[in-house]
Structure 1
Amino acid sequence: MNHKFPILLLIILISVLLCGCLTGAFVNSTPTPMPTPVPSSNTTAMSIKGSVQPTHASTPMPIPTPAASIEYYTRNYAWAYKGTQWTYTLSIPKSLYDYYRQQPHNRQSNYAQYALSDYDRQAIKTMIDDFKNVGAKNGYSEYDNVMNVVCFVQSLPYTSDQVTIGYDEYPRYPIETLVDNGGDCEDTAILTAAMLNEMGFGVVLIYLPGHMAVGVKCSNDYPGTYYEYNGARYYYLETTGENWKIGQIPDEYKNSQAQILPMVQIPKMNITFTSTLTSYDISSVYYRVHCDIKNLGPGTARNASVYIAALALSQGENRVWAPDSTISLGDFPEGSTGWAEATVKIPRNEYTQIECIVYGDNFYPVTAKSEIFNT
């Protein structure tokens, strides 16, 4: 028998569309799968699965704030390329900066995730369009457009996390680096990778002991230092300090072991739950389990589902009491939140744990468990 469990998707709304909020102007001052877990049911139990369709929140959609009331951070940048002094003025909504300050900053196992958020894509695209437009007016080649972006990032001041934030390690999202007007090696590498990726170039992050740089995919006849990854050559690009070209590597890193971090979105999901005793009879107790799920990004979590069960600890490993439930959430956009509910039935006088797992096609499964308790 099938039951349906309601799902609520709450999409986080940035206060305004970035295309109408983020502006930039150049002034020429001279004439870039995890396997689905398959929890085992108790061999004597029948599995009950719920199939649902995501529904929109019933609360009214917020009305966009008039542009005149939006608060911005305005930053001015200056750098040189090919003998020309360039300046760029950029205005970024404070709400966008605040969004990234509240995002996780503990993704050190894969720094590429900082460069791949969906929410700053319009902001990065606006900047890249400005670079391309000014490049076209000045007869720049594709290489010149890339190097103009590189020189822009290389001109940002180097600042340590300890001095600016008070933490030993605080990787910044691109919007944070732009507003903070600089950062350390991983911050400028992340910003460069995000911008070149948006330009359509193949890029990776290169993680070295105590340092980070960018790898730019080039043809095999390009000169300089490169790393091979998936059959392609990614040439070293230093983003801290000025005047470094693609393929040039500082002497201190020439013989260092490098880890390649590909630019692939792996959303980070979060799940918490509460359980409430709803009823009992002579043989069993019943708990209603409510799970809250959030996609912290980057990108959309594909084909997300939630599995809810009570573990049958006395019956052996990987056994659960029937019914266990699987609730389909479908695609779960970055920043969205939702919930799923199911009822578990547990025999009396049994030790158990309630377990909730969120899993899908393109992110790592996340498990939440209660303490062991006796019914």
Structure 2
Amino acid sequence: MRNYALIGLIICLCFSGCISPYDNLGAGEYNGYNIDANNNNEYNYAKDNNIANTINDANDSYKTSNSNKYYIRHYEWKYKGNLWTWDLKIPKELYNYYKNKPHNREENYAQYALSDYDKPYLDSIIQKFKEVSAEKGYSDYDTVMFVVSFVQSLKYTSDSTTTGYDEYPRYPIETLVDDGGDCEDTAILTASLLKEMGYDVVLIELPNHMAVGIKGGDGIYGSYYEYNGNRYYYLETTDTGWNIGEIPDEYKNTNAIIRPMIQIPKMELSFSANYISYDASYIYYKVHCDIENIGSGTAKNPKLYICALALSKGDGYVWKPDHVIELDDYVEGARGSAEAVVKIPRGETSQIKCVLYGDNFETVEVSSEVFNT
């Protein structure tokens, strides 16, 4: 059985001059692009005027079974002296899917940015950002900052005020519909968009704060964190005006946990065991297991082990037969079940145990109370 542990590394903040691109991350890490600079500190801002640049709705082609049921959200923000407006249609069924998911089961907030279910919608938004950036002739740096400036313009709201919970990490769709959130919400949204655009990003978890790190290339200056031999430049997402590499004074020289953008499915397992028959020597029980992937991404090669422990024989003994059931991959949100029959000799003390394990998720074990046959 293999465990796939959450990845987090405590590191220290550094300050940089100009750096060169680094090699790709090692096996198992997300491999994205560096962000390169193009006169990023020499903006020539145009004067504001009363004419806004409008981004047309990105989501007319988004497929949904409730095609007439959308949230309409209006956004306004400035970038490089230009005013931008965007009216987004966000399917209510998509928002409700995430609203109804548990929001207290992930210590690693990167998982909120890595869901598969919202990718078609977010990809349609990303396509619009790319189209506008191409039309404007934006550099790599400006393309990233165009997206970041959009997120920075969203309202800052505390979880306790908007949800009644001390901590309520939002999925990207929730932040868009709610028109904002706190630091982890805007960091999650930013990381999700930039990762899908192909940039190598991480979440930076600081004491009582969260931000984004983006892997730097030639010409990037400012504050960065080193992780796996690469420099990830600090990106503040909770207020306007922050550029890549600029960090608030209160977070300088502060240790952080780096959360890489790697999907880690999270499996839930429950079971029931019911007496079905007996003979002169054995009691027979049918064990029914319910399985659900409540994490991000697809759970690969899951296997279910079902057994009845032979407690009187000592640790590690089971009553035969025990069962290993090979299951199909569980995509995000998938539910399923599996069953097996165990037999236990009469007059014995036993315990039924079920173990779910696979290639890329943490092993889950559940057991019954000890009972006599």
Is the contact made by 1:107 and 1:113 (CA closer than 8 Å) also made in structure 2? no
Match of 2:97 in 1: 99
Is the contact made by 1:28 and 1:86 (CA closer than 8 Å) also made in structure 2? no
2:228 is the alignment partner of 1:230:
yes
Match of 2:368 in 1: 370
Amino acid at match of 2:169: P
Deviation at 1:119, TM superposition (A): 0.4
Count of residue pairs the alignment pairs up: 315
Q: CA, structure 1 residues 362+308, in 2 after alignment: closer, same or farther (shift >3 Å)? A: same
Q: CA, structure 1 residues 253+322, in 2 after alignment: closer, same or farther (shift >3 Å)? A: same
Distance 1:361 1:182 in 2: 36
| Partner SS, residue 129 of structure 1 | helix
Distance 2:137 2:160 in 1: 42
Deviation at 1:28, TM superposition (A): 6.5
| Partner SS, residue 131 of structure 2 | helix
Match of 1:51 in 2: none
Q: Write the mapping of 1:175-324 to structure 2, written as runs, cut at 5 A.
A: 175-219=173-217, 222-324=220-322
Match of 1:125 in 2: 123
> Residues 88-120 of structure 1: CA distance to partner in whole angstroms, max 9, x if unpaired?
111111111110011121244211000000001
Deviation at 1:328, TM superposition (A): 0.7
| Partner SS, residue 353 of structure 1 | strand
Give the TM-score normalised by structure 1: 0.81
Deviation at 1:220, TM superposition (A): 6.5
> Residues 337-366 of structure 1: CA distance to partner in whole angstroms, max 9, x if unpaired?
111110011112222111111111000011
Residue among 80, 83, 95 paired with 1:85: 83
Is the contact made by 2:284 and 2:341 (CA closer than 8 Å) also made in structure 1? yes
Distance 2:99 2:215 in 1: 31
Deviation at 1:372, TM superposition (A): 1.3
Distance 1:251 1:261 in 2: 22
Q: Write the mapping of 1:162-173 to structure 2, written as runs, cut at 5 A.
A: 162-173=160-171
Distance 1:246 1:66 in 2: 39
Unpaired segments of 5 or more residues in structure 2? 1-49, 55-63
Is the contact made by 2:212 and 2:237 (CA closer than 8 Å) also made in structure 1? yes
Amino acid at match of 2:344: I
Q: Write the mapping of 1:139-158 to structure 2, written as runs, cut at 5 A.
A: 139-158=137-156
Distance 1:334 1:196 in 2: 21
Amino acid at match of 2:190: T
2:27 is the alignment partner of 1:29:
no
Deviation at 1:222, TM superposition (A): 2.1
Q: CA, structure 1 residues 367+28, in 2 after alignment: closer, same or farther (shift >3 Å)? A: farther
Q: CA, structure 1 residues 153+216, in 2 after alignment: closer, same or farther (shift >3 Å)? A: same
Is the contact made by 2:297 and 2:332 (CA closer than 8 Å) also made in structure 1? yes
Distance 1:297 1:119 in 2: 11
- Percent identity for Structure 1 against Structure 2: 61
| Partner SS, residue 181 of structure 2 | coil
